[in-house]
Amino acid sequence: MTPQYLLKGAALALEQCGLLLRDANRLYRLGSYASSIALAAHAHEEMGRYQILLELWRRALAGEAFTVEHIRKACSDHVKKQTEGMLAITFTDDGGRGLDLGKLIRAQMEVQLQSPEWQKLVAQIDQTIEEMKKSIPTDRHKTRMSAIYVEPNETEWHRPADITAAEAYAFLLGASNDYSMQHDRYSNLQEDRQLCDALQQWAERPTLVPPEWPTLPQDTQ
């Protein structure tokens, strides 16, 4: 596979990420919260595929050779794609680790700069962020599965239709924030000269759909 082939696959993956997120936001506005999460999770995986294929493209430029099977294997792991697609941590007051991080950040803002208490809070914030970086990709994959399938629990069935607007909002917000950053990097390539030159020489490269963000329903604000 040529470097141009790999670059084309990367760009198409990022294009698909944007299209899936656009449709996920449409489903969210219609109140189809589980389906919106499922599409947003797939979008995040396509963002990860973009990153993986860009890395293969750079290695191909350096002389490495790849087959279709190499490419499929590199992009086969769902959690790895979630990991590669994660550019930032978005936290909301959702009762999980995001809530813990939000409390720590607010507490840090209320104490004296560089004081022992401030430094302790900084360490706690850093530790919480590292824990979230490790857990978020797996959590997102599990959430994708829970948004699609009816599964048995100990006493009751898990029902995707019970997923709430707030849960879908938090999930879409994270995916939309990451896509927005990738969209900006793809559209304004000055910081990556090699990628900029390659894309500018490709006249038919995809134009990405603009990012959009979910709005939290009024009754959950």
Dump pLDDT digits (tens) for 108-139. 778 788 888 888 877 877 777 677 767 777 88
Rounded-to-integer distance, Cα 59 and Cα 66, Å: 9
Cβ pair 96, 174 in contact under 8 A:
no
* pLDDT exceeds cutoff 60 at 82: yes
Rounded-to-integer distance, Cα 49 and Cα 84, Å: 8
Using alpha carbons only, what angle is made at residue 92 by residues 132 and 107, rounded to the nearest 5 degrees? 80
User: What pLDDT, in 10s, does the model give residues 148-191?
Assistant: 999 998 889 999 999 999 999 989 998 999 999 889 888 876 66
Rounded-to-integer distance, Cα 139 and Cα 216, Å: 21
